[in-house]
Amino acid sequence: MSTILTVSNISKAYKKNNIHALSKLSFECVKGEIVSVVGSSGSGKSTLLKLIAGLEIPDSGQIILNDNVVNGESIFVQPENRNCDLVFQDFSLFPNMTINDNIYFGKNAPDNKSMIGELISLTHISDILSRYPHQISGGQQQRVALVRALANKPSLLLMDEPLSHLDSALKESVRGELISILKTLEITVLIVTHDAEDALTMSDKTVVLNQGTLEQFDTPKNVYKYPNSEYAANLFGMTNIIPLKLLPDSNYFFNQSSTGQDVISVRPHQIILDHGKKSTSLPEFICQVKNIYDNGRRCKIELEYKGLLLVAEIENDNLLNIGETKSFYIRLN
């Protein structure tokens, strides 16, 4: 597989606020891959997209796109010459143009009429082509922005929080459509998102950014299961940070920077209630139930084990009471 994008030691600081948006960041994107970039607010995700698109100039480092250096010490390729389209968070559809004009706005779009036709039918927007952006829904705007970018046949598609404007019901369906379109076209995509679910369901690889530095670069599944820091673990949802000494059999651990000890990230669903028919050799945790939060089918419980607070998520049919002591075990992997 050939490499489409190489980001090498990229740094960017904003003088105005004296903030280091990115610091010596490096990673690669292979052709046809969907790579997600996750991180908390201010971690440098959007800055990274702008640098790759050529909308900002890095302070140092190199960006190679399609084997061409587009950013270097004395090289800067203008955004219009990079063949790398960006789908903005708010979609940035041109309000004075119809949907059709928006789609055909790109430099290469007029040459790709048949592909655009297919994209229009694939995204179900053929009946809104004569409307203006303010006359269509958020989900439709999202699809139009995607088609407009793809119509230009970019070698790399950049997407900035593409689903953040959608409500949860719409988000589910649009996410599904998006994955199917991107996979059908076999296009290389870099998606910035703060939603772990987006990263888990959509991408082949994940770049975890923390205050402008690379925290982890791996498959989203690995980042979820085997985060290499507390920060990466927390990004992918609620987790329990448990000292390694309590689970000595674990092959996986990382060093917790605040305490200096080796720890493991254990997701709430990995903590299992022992119903008394113990069929495992895993160590037993006798915990006191501190709180129960009913989520419907499942419930979240807060447990205390020798001063350590744990959160577990179990089936709601377990009749637990606050204050009682129960036995739990942790299923690794």
Residues engaged in binding another protein (CB under 8 A) = 50, 53-55, 57, 59-60, 73-74, 76, 78-86, 88, 90, 92, 94-97, 105-109, 148-149, 152, 158
Nearer to another protein, 95 or 248 (CB): 95
Tokens of 132: 């203006």
Contact 85, 117 (CB under 8 A): no
Note whether 297 and 316 are within 8 A (CB). Answer: yes
Task: Tell me the closest approach of the beta carbon of residue 121 to another protein, in angstroms.
Answer: 22
> Cβ of residue 60: shortest distance to another protein, in angstroms?
8
Across the chain, the runs of DSSP E, i.e. the strands, are: 3-14, 19-30, 34-38, 60-65, 68-72, 75-76, 84-87, 156-160, 189-193, 205-210, 213-218, 240-243, 254-255, 262-266, 271-273, 284-294, 298-305, 308-315, 325-330
Please state the closest distance from residue 189 (CB atom) to another protein, in A: 14
Tokens 């419980």 appear where? Answer: 301
Closer to another protein at the Cβ: 45 or 50? 50
Cα 28 off chain centre by: 16
Number of H helices, E strands in the chain: 8, 19
SS3 73: coil
CB 123 to another protein: min, Å: 17
SS3 label, residue 318: coil
Residue placing its CB nearer to another protein in the complex, 10 or 84: 84
Smallest separation, CB 307 to another protein (Å): 45
Residue number, 94 or 293, with CB nearest to another protein = 94
Nearer to another protein, 88 or 252 (CB): 88
- Which is nearest to 75 in space by CA: 86, 63, 84, 83? 63
Query: Cβ of residue 109: shortest distance to another protein, in angstroms?
Result: 8
Give the nearer residue to another protein in terms of CB position, either 128 or 159. Answer: 159
Identity of the residue numbered 7: V
